[in-house]
Amino acid sequence: MFRILFHTPEIPGNTGNAIRLAAITGAELHLVEPLGFDFSDAKLRRAGLDYHDLAVVTVHKDIEAAWAALKPERVFAYTSDGETSYTDISYREGDVLMFGPESVGLPAWLKQDPHVTARVRLPMKPSLRSLNLANAASIAVFEAWRQNGFAGAKV
């Protein structure tokens, strides 16, 4: 399935929602430290409801540890200044869909990382800064899953 990568997420509710997203879609969720919360945070638990035990969630000490564990073939960095539309990608199983922290998005150095296959954007009005992290991940995961026939889902 697909792999969601949150680089240094800050808001527990967004990660909780991503845990639900991972459980419901069969995606894996990978988190790169430092995290802006701990797993005992009530907002994280509330957002994830009872899906925590149903999701594959891995925490990595840094991006290099994440790359070593994921051994990614393709990484799509979602960013408001991406050159490629999320609908112009032919997603494949195992793709990594990477997102940055809520307050600032992906840092420039990570957008240029040699693991990054493409910098991807979601459409939005030009006067607005960004979409909520969990919502952006949901849009990307569901497009990738749709393109792959919603494998494993009851449709």
Element (H, E) at 66: helix 63-70
Structure tokens belonging to residue 144: 């990738």
- The answer to whether 122 is annotated as binding is yes
Q: Report how far apart, in Å, the C-alpha atoms of 22 and of each of 29, 111, 143 are.
A: 6, 23, 14
Q: What CA–CA distance (Å, rounded) separates 97 from 44? A: 21
CA–centroid distance for 2 within its chain = 9
Sheet holding 116-121, edge to edge: 56-60, 28-32, 3-7, 96-99, 75-78, 116-121, 84-85
- The answer to whether 94 is annotated as binding is no
Phi, psi of 124, rounded to the nearest 5 degrees: -160, 165
Structure tokens belonging to residue 149: 């026939």
- The answer to whether 105 is annotated as binding is no
Binding residues: 100, 122, 130
Binding residues for S-adenosyl-L-methionine: 100, 122, 130
